[in-house]
Structure 1
Amino acid sequence: MGSQNKTGSLQTTIHNAVATVQFGHPASNSFPRDLLNRLTAEINFLSTNSDVSIIILQSEGEKVFCSGASFDELLEVQNEEQGTEFFSGFAHLINAMRNCSKLIIARVQGKAVGGGVGIIAACDYVLATPESAVKLSELAIGIGPFVIEPAVSRKIGKSAMTQMTLEAHEWKSADWALQNKLFSAVHTANELDNAVEAFAQKLSSYNPEALTEMKKIIWEGTELWESLLIDRAAITGKLVLSDFTKNALLQFKK
């Protein structure tokens, strides 16, 4: 199934019990709220699909995996309610990925910023390329990575998350991401697809019930995220209204 419109594209193909979900958006694979909602719904749908045992999450193009929230939509936020609602989109997606009964493999072919890093952190296994630098730039635009922080900290620890967050202008290399366990493996761009395919096929040959039980164990202790991530969305929703953020977003757009 696939859908394409001005808010981006989303396509799913299923082959040998592996569902490949590909998202894309003309603005560096950023996420307007509508695309976030569609991806969340797709993850929830695949969670109950008995023909699928593994999900591959990937994006269009070569240079950028995901650049996070849509700046255009951030600039349109008029009040706290709208702000909370917008950032709840990432909360719902991360919770859907966490609650999904299928293991999720990320194919990261390029850079990831902000919410894009959160999505990577919410995957169960991540294959990337040497070009896949990562950055949490939120403080530079007057907000913070509040919604995605639990997912990022769970993967790389509070210390590395703090470093990434405070060094908001600095890219962290794929090697740094691998050493800090955000990435599971790094392959050249030419080898990435074969590596992702081979790993997904290997996993899909295992007992689906064992994979589902393993998924539950991997995410043990995160049950509070259901409400925590929404609370965090409210913090960001408030900050995004600040003059600091409005000005910073306009500067970034230029």
Structure 2
Amino acid sequence: MFKIVKILITFQSLTPKSLKMNPYVNWKLLKSGVAEIEFYHPSHNCMPSDLLGELATTIASCGENPQVEVIVLRSGGDRTFCAGASFDELIAIKSLDEGKAFFSGFANVINACRKCPKLIIGRVQGKAVGGGVGLAAAVDYCYATKFAAIRLSELNIGIGPFVIEPAVSRKLGAQYVAQMTYNPSEGKSAEWAQVHGLYAQVFETAEEMDAVMMAHAEQLAKTNPAARTALKKVFWAGTDHWDELLAERAAKSGELVLSEFTKQALAKYRKD
């Protein structure tokens, strides 16, 4: 039985998107020393707490694996990179503790990316909303297609991108994060995100992106690992307090999600 289950899990990441019904986090190690971590959820790659926990653990594990030189972070499917946190789980929050735990999910993934000694390359094939923008900002180098528009929609339901803001501001700058936050119904194009520093390169198709991305990942995997780790520490300088900061931000979001305003906003979305 164990062998059968193992085969099914491995096969899952290789099946057509029409057959991908169950959420997962998978990873595989290529001969080049590049590890691919892929997450998937049938609801536009939204991320419930358990999936976020698996993703954070997988990133940390790959970071400690001596066979891994470089990590590629990607999602399954071809339309949406990540739609943010699970809306169903958001609606179900009933207490401050539940709220903080819920919003700590993306905090843990961001911190896992920050602490990982290996360089992480992001692959954003489609739109990113809310926490999805946070994931794109948390990697060290990010590729995207022209379909990878971004949006911070949190204010529409009475909360804000508190947890992901430090990571997104680090890439875009606080002024542009504020502009996006205060206009939660309007997204920004992939080209805009590239100009402002979130994406390093934007491609017409996923196939073009993948060819360049994998060649780059394999090239990086051949460089001095000590230099890569030292450089990552340099470029993440000033973020050592993020464990405490993101925990505080998660608590604030957990408090706001219980407000009467947000409850009414969520009830409206539930009806819609």
TM-score bracket for this pair, using the shorter chain length? over 0.9
Find 2:156's aligned residue among 126, 140, 156: 140
CA distance in 2, matches of 1:52, 1:185: 24
| Per-residue deviation, 1:252 | 3.1
Runs of 4+ in 1 over 6 A off after TM superposition: 3-7
Matches within 5 A, 1:3-22: 8-15=23-30, 16-22=32-38
| Per-residue deviation, 1:7 | 6.9
Gaps of 5+ in 2: 1-5, 13-19
Contact 1:152 1:161 in 2 (8 A): yes
CA distance in 1, matches of 2:34, 2:268: 42
For normalisation by structure 1, the TM-score amounts to 0.96
CA distance in 1, matches of 2:22, 2:28: 20
Structure showing greater Rg: 2
| Per-residue deviation, 1:250 | 3.4
Could you say what secondary structure the match of 1:96 adopts? helix
Could you say what secondary structure the match of 1:105 adopts? strand
| Per-residue deviation, 1:195 | 1.5
The residue number in structure 2 matching 1:211 is 228
Find 2:40's aligned residue among 4, 15, 24: 24
Counting matched residue pairs gives 254
The residue number in structure 1 matching 2:265 is 248
Q: Identical aligned pairs, as a percentage?
A: 49
| Per-residue deviation, 1:199 | 1.1
Could you say what secondary structure the match of 2:43 adopts? coil
Find 1:83's aligned residue among 92, 99, 118: 99
CA distance in 2, matches of 1:41, 1:219: 20
Matches within 5 A, 1:156-167: 156-167=172-183
CA distance in 1, matches of 2:21, 2:211: 31
For normalisation by structure 2, the TM-score amounts to 0.90
The residue number in structure 2 matching 1:125 is 141
Contact 1:109 1:132 in 2 (8 A): yes
Contact 1:7 1:35 in 2 (8 A): no
Cα deviation 1:49-106 (Å, max 9, x = unaligned): 0100100000011110000100000011001111011111111111111000001000
Contact 1:11 1:21 in 2 (8 A): yes
Cα deviation 1:98-141 (Å, max 9, x = unaligned): 00000100000000000000010001000001110000000011
Could you say what secondary structure the match of 1:128 adopts? strand
The residue number in structure 2 matching 1:41 is 57
Matches within 5 A, 1:180-195: 180-189=196-205, 190-195=207-212
Cα RMSD for the two superposed structures: 1.6
CA distance in 1, matches of 2:264, 2:100: 20
Contact 1:39 1:93 in 2 (8 A): yes
